[in-house]
A = this chain, B = another copy of it.
Amino acid sequence: MAKTKVQILETGASPAQDASPGGYKVFNRIIDWITNDRLQLLNITDRINEIVRKSGIQDGLVHLQSLHTTSAVFINEWQDALIHDVKNFFEQVVLRDQYYRHNDPEHSDCERKNADSHLRGMLMGQTLCLQVRNASVLLGTWQSIIFAEFDGPRSRSLAVQVSGI
């Protein structure tokens, strides 16, 4: 992943919605990337932890939602060799080069020929919800939060919501 340059912008900042002093709060952010490759994985763990810390929330949930169908968010170990295997798995479980109506001009006006990207995003899911404990994201020793680009290069937005007390 050495040559991957990812630009991260923080937009859409909203003040925490505080229900009552010391009570339940909701803290919303949108973070943005520009991806470089058609199939690309990004380790976004540090960025999510930073937002959780900023929220001031000690206990609750952090919810991640990619705003694009041809992307996904999930957990895995972040190791170069494994990331290579993960990409191969996506290419095997959903083939790019087979007939799809979504890629056929007779049935679809989509010019990106990205039916495989849609199926990969759907299979892995665009959302991930994790626990917040002691003011940080709960993760096991080998767990990283991974954003998957399935139809890059593109500008991508991830909505992050921290809620709790």
A side interface size, CB within 8 A: 66
Q: Is A108 part of the contact surface with B, judged by Cβ < 8 Å? A: yes
> Which residues on B sit within 8 Å (CB–CB) of A53?
none
Copies of this chain, how many?
3
| Chain A 9-48 residues near chain B, CB threshold 8 A | 17, 19-20, 22-24, 26, 28
Interface of A: prevailing SS: mixed
Does B126 contact A125, Cβ atoms closer than 8 Å? no
Q: Is the CB of B85 within 8 A of A140?
A: no
A26 with B59: CB separation less than 8 A: yes
**What does the 1/0 interface line of A71-109 toward B look like (CB < 8 Å)?**
000111101111011100100011000001110100110
Q: Which residues of A contact B (CB under 8 A)?
A: 17, 19-20, 22-24, 26, 28, 58-61, 63, 65-69, 74-77, 79-82, 84-86, 89, 93-94, 100-102, 104, 107-108, 110, 115, 118-119, 121-131, 133, 138-143, 157, 159, 161, 163-165
